[in-house]
Structure formats: structure tokens, C-alpha cells
Amino acid sequence: MKFFVDTADIKEIEDLAATGLLDGVTTNPSLVAKSGAKDFKSLIKSICEIVSGPVSAEVAATDYATMRKEADVLRAIADNVAVKVPLTADGLKVCKELSDEGTLVNVTLCFSAGQALLAAKAGAAFISPFVGRLDDISTDGLQLIADIVRIYDNYEYFDTEVLVASVRNPLHIIESAKMGAHVMTAPPSVIKQLYNHPLTDKGLAAFVEDWKKTGQSIL
Ligand code: G3P
């Protein structure tokens, strides 16, 4: 499973990139606003220099003509930009055109299997189903991941990767991985939670204490 981080915070991206475990980055207008960045295009350029994998940069417009122009600007920033478009008729029209031209497209705001089918037919590189936001309205977000993975698996000619988004906790990641989702994007705090287990802490403390008793040094 590929790990993307869902943030527009350069420091957080640098920290995670240093672990060697980061495969890409996703941003959205809300995350850009939260980051305080004043120049979106420079921000995306900087992120693309830190991470060699796909960096999702989202269009701001909602009509076809403006989205298409914005997409052309965004994809020119760096080779690893994945243009992010909303799952609307206009968004998928832009997706089909860009995908046909070899540009990576991430179709966002997916909340149903039917929408995911449309994105695959439009040639999306990634479909982003929002697990947490479905859970928020008492709908099983992970069931949507299972449905999309199953549907895509039925058709060899669908190349779209399932990018689990709106991830709120480690279980969202683990259960999606069991289902075979290709990618997940999560806030840094959730990715860091994956490291933690109380038995690891307890075991390590015991090893440190016992090593002291040996009176030895490896170095
Ligand atoms: O990047 C899109 C998605 O991951 C947003 O997550 O937590 O705002 O629902 P959230």
C-alpha cells in the first residue's frame, strides 16, 4: 500500500519524507488555507521538490472551462503533479482530457461506487473515496472502499488506483489495506499513530534495562 500524507504543511511533509516511507502528498483548498501559504503554485513546486511521488494539487474552479485552464497551469508546475478535480460532470470531463494526454488525475469528493465507476471510465489515475466523512454521517465508509476495490478488480482495463481519503484513524488504513486499496492518504498525526503500541514501549524499556546489566557497549 502506498502512503501519501494529506497536508499542505511543508515542515510536516519534510519530516515524513525523511522517514523514507512517504510515496506522495495530497492537498486540497482547505489544507492550503490551513497552511497559511500565500502562493499556492510556489507551495506545490516546493512540495514536488521534496517528494518524488505524485503531489495532488486541486483546481479551485467548478466550471469546465476554468478548471481546464487551471489544470494546465497546475500540471506545468512539475512532472509529479497530479491534478485533483471534483467528482462532477465537468470535473470528469477535465479528467478524461488530461488522462488522455498522460497527466495524472486524482478525482476527489467520491462518496459512492457509481461515482468511482465514472472516474475509472474517465481514466483517473486515482479515485479518492472519503471514508471519514461517510462515517460522520453514520454511513460505513470502509464498505465503500470494499465495493470500489471489488468493482475495479472485475475489469482489467481499469487502471485507476483506490486512494483512501478522509482517513481519521489507523483502523481506516489497516482495514483498507486488507481490502487491497492501493493508496491511503492520512494526516501526519494518523500516520504517526501507526508506529505506536504499548507492548513495544514496554518491551523496549525492558531491553534497555537488561542491556545495562550486561555492562557492554556495541560501539
Ligand atoms: O484530502 C481530502 C480528504 O482526505 C479530507 O479529509 O478529514 O477533511 O474529511 P477530511
Mutate to test the pocket of ligand 1, among 30, 133, 164, 168 (most ligand atoms within 8 A of CB): 133
Domains of the chain: 2-214 (3.20.20.70)
Question: Residue 159 carries which side chain, given as an amino acid letter?
Answer: D
184 is written with which cell numbers? 491511503
Q: What is the pLDDT along the chain (219 residues), one digit of tens a residue?
A: 999 999 999 999 999 999 999 999 999 999 999 999 999 999 999 999 999 999 999 999 999 999 999 999 999 999 999 999 999 999 999 999 999 999 999 999 999 999 999 999 999 999 999 999 999 999 999 999 999 999 999 999 999 999 999 999 999 999 999 999 999 999 999 999 999 999 999 999 999 999 999 999 999
- 151 alpha carbon to ligand 1 midpoint, in Å? 23
192 is written with which cell numbers? 504517526
Residue having the nearest C-alpha atom to atom 8 of ligand 1: 166
By residue count, the chain amounts to 219
pTM of the model: 0.96
Q: What share of the chain is helix, strand, coil (3-state, %, to 5)?
A: 50, 15, 30
Q: Cβ-count burial of 71 within 10 angstroms (0-12 exposed, 13-18 middle, 19+ buried)? A: buried
- 190 alpha carbon to ligand 1 midpoint, in Å? 12
Residue 6 CB less than 6 A away from ligand 1: yes
Residue having the nearest C-alpha atom to atom 6 of ligand 1: 166
Q: Cβ-count burial of 112 within 10 angstroms (0-12 exposed, 13-18 middle, 19+ buried)? A: middle
Q: Is 84 a catalytic residue?
A: yes
Residue 185 CB less than 6 A away from ligand 1: yes
Q: Cβ-count burial of 212 within 10 angstroms (0-12 exposed, 13-18 middle, 19+ buried)? A: exposed
- Whether residue 48 contacts residue 80, with contact meaning beta carbons closer than 8 Å, is answered with yes
Catalytically annotated residue among 34, 38, 45, 84: 84
